[in-house]
Amino acid sequence: MAGGIRLFLLFAAHCVGTINIMGVMAFAPAIQRDLGLDTATFGLLVAAYYGAQPVVALPGGWLVDRIGVKAALALSMTGVSISAGFFAVSAGGGMAAALLILAGIAYSLVNPATSVGVVTWFPPDWRSTMMSVKQAGVPAGGLIAAVIAGLAGPDAWRVSASAVAVAAALTAVLAVAAPGGGMAPVARGPMLAGLLGVLRNRALMRVCLTTFLLNTAQGAFYAYLVLYLVGPAGLSAGVAALIFGATHVVSAIARILWGLLADRVWGGDGPRVLRIIAFAASLGFVGLALGAGLGAPAAGAAALALGMTIAGFAGVAQGAAATAAPRAQIGAAMGVFMVLTPLGSVFGPSLFGGLIGLTGGYLVPYLLLAALTAAVGAFVLRR
């Protein structure tokens, strides 16, 4: 029972935090209209949220090691609640941007805190599985935000933000009331010394590099998937949207399955599972490269395969990072992890879009992504 409550807390922190920002995207037209924003300015709102996270990821991870899991999650969810509550009554772009920066800072504590929670509360032979289950809260949150926007209508964004504020406040209360340890600090010492120790950990840095490269491919995959399916693959916008949504559902399921395989079949060997994922993703990108010529069903199948692979590696990667770090440095290690991971989401779409412009199509860019993911499996993760 206690283990179930703890796992639900870790899952809920990811889920509520994701609903917060995905809700902003899902209600984009109404928010843009009501706050008087142009398209470029609205994009800056989202950039403000994501840009805040890498900036505070390192000190945030260090802080988690010192204040403990439950205190960090309570602090994080309180910040999300305050941000979402005031966002619901915001009257201009400046106020909205400041609140999203606060939300990004608050959410930056979630990944290190939940990772330390997995290590603290669950046995090592279930680590990758528990990491994957709590990470499934991310696609689940995106799906819930989309459903809310679809059912509530475009003008309900202030009500939706208020609901997120309440959900985050309840999650903060759950963090304090959850059974077991995790409130006390697990490490002491100056921040710089702790971070330097993490950066000298070669096994950890190899996992972080792997995550950065795979997330670069994932960012490019999601950013251009609908455009590819509607364009070269020849699908309707409705069908393309359904496939896009299906890749998120598949991603949530795959994260848990990859975690189970890592723990139950390969004894917690996360890097080995990441190699399998990287090689399988390479085949998926080849499938997308050839999918336009083979027909729409082939393109759709390749997209779902990538939902299982390039979009399903996060839990195993976090498990491998946590295993590579000493117990007292897991929070700081996840801080480094979360500096590199968002950068992949920045570089991937930008570089992929540039390649499309240079080559005049999707064939060469998708083949290059296939080569990148294969190189991760063959060289970065070599045994």
My answer on whether 118 and 199 are in the same domain is no
Give dist(CA 302, CA 286) in Å, integer. Answer: 8
Query: Which tokens sit at 225?
Result: 């998937």
- As a whole number, mean pLDDT of residues 198-227 equals 86
192: pLDDT strictly greater than 70 = no
Long-range contacts of 318-321 (CB under 8 A, 24+ apart): 318/111, 318/115, 318/131, 318/135, 319/118, 319/127, 319/128, 319/130, 319/131, 319/132, 319/259, 319/262, 319/268, 319/270, 320/128, 320/207, 320/270, 320/271, 320/274, 321/115, 321/204, 321/207, 321/208, 321/211
Do 62 and 158 lie in a common domain? Answer: yes
- Domain final position from 162, 188, 214: 188
Q: pLDDT tens for residues 153-182?
A: 778 899 999 999 999 999 999 999 988 655
Residue that is last in its domain, among 188, 205, 221: 188
* pTM for the whole structure: 0.77
Q: Considering its fold, how many domains does the chain have in total?
A: 2
Give the span between the Cα atoms of 376 and 31, in whole angstroms: 40
Residues 336 and 208: beta-carbon distance below 8 Å: yes
The answer to whether 330 and 127 have CB atoms below 8 angstroms apart is: no
Same-domain check for residues 282 and 162: no
Question: Are residues 303 and 276 located together in one domain of the fold?
Answer: yes
Dihedral sign, CA of 40, 41, 42, 48? Answer: positive
Contacts 24+ apart (CB under 8 A), 346-355: 346/219, 347/216, 347/219, 348/215, 348/216, 348/217, 348/218, 348/219, 348/220, 348/221, 348/223, 349/219, 349/220, 349/223, 349/224, 351/216, 351/220, 352/220, 352/223, 352/224, 353/223, 353/224
Amino acid at 260: L
Could you tell me which residues come within 8 angstroms of residue 123 by beta carbon, excluding any fewer than 6 positions away? none
Asked whether residue 109 carries a pLDDT value surpassing 80, the answer given is yes
Q: Using 50, 70 and 90 to split pLDDT, how confident is the model at 8?
A: very high
Contacts of 287 (CB under 8 A, 6+ apart): 298, 299, 301, 302, 305
List the Cα angle 175/161/224 in 5-degree steps.
Answer: 100
Q: Which of 156, 188, 220 is the C-terminal boundary of a domain? A: 188
Q: What is the pLDDT of residue 181?
A: 58
- pLDDT of 282 reads 97
Whether 351 and 222 map to the same domain: the answer is yes
pLDDT at 184: 47
Q: How confident is the model at residue 189 (pLDDT cuts 50, 70, 90)?
A: low
What range defines the domain where residue 60 resides? 2-188
- Gap between the Cα atoms of 336 and 344, Å rounded: 13
pLDDT tens-place string over residues 334-367: 777 777 777 787 788 888 888 998 999 999 999 9
The full DSSP string for 115-174 is HHHHHHHS-GGGHHHHHHHHHTHHHHHHHHHHHHHHHH-TT-HHHHHHHHHHHHHHHHHH
257 plus 139 within the same structural domain: no
230 & 183 share domain: no
What are the tokens at 173? 């209360």
Average pLDDT over residues 94-111: 92
Per-residue confidence band for 88, with pLDDT thresholds at 50, 70 and 90: very high
Q: What is the chain's mean pLDDT, rounded?
A: 86
Q: Are residues 179 and 292 in the same domain?
A: no
Q: What is the pLDDT of residues 219-231, one digit of tens each?
A: 888 878 888 888 8
CA distance 73 to 75: 5
To the nearest 10°, report the CA torsion of 334, 335, 339, 345: 40
Structure tokens at 112: 């290190």
**Residue 169 and residue 262 in one domain:** no
CATH number for the domain harbouring residue 206: 1.20.1250.20
Q: Do 165 and 281 belong to one domain?
A: no
Do 226 and 143 fall within a single domain?
Answer: no
Of 133, 355, 360, 149, which is closest to residue 241 (Cα–Cα)? 149
* Residues 351, 226 share a domain: yes
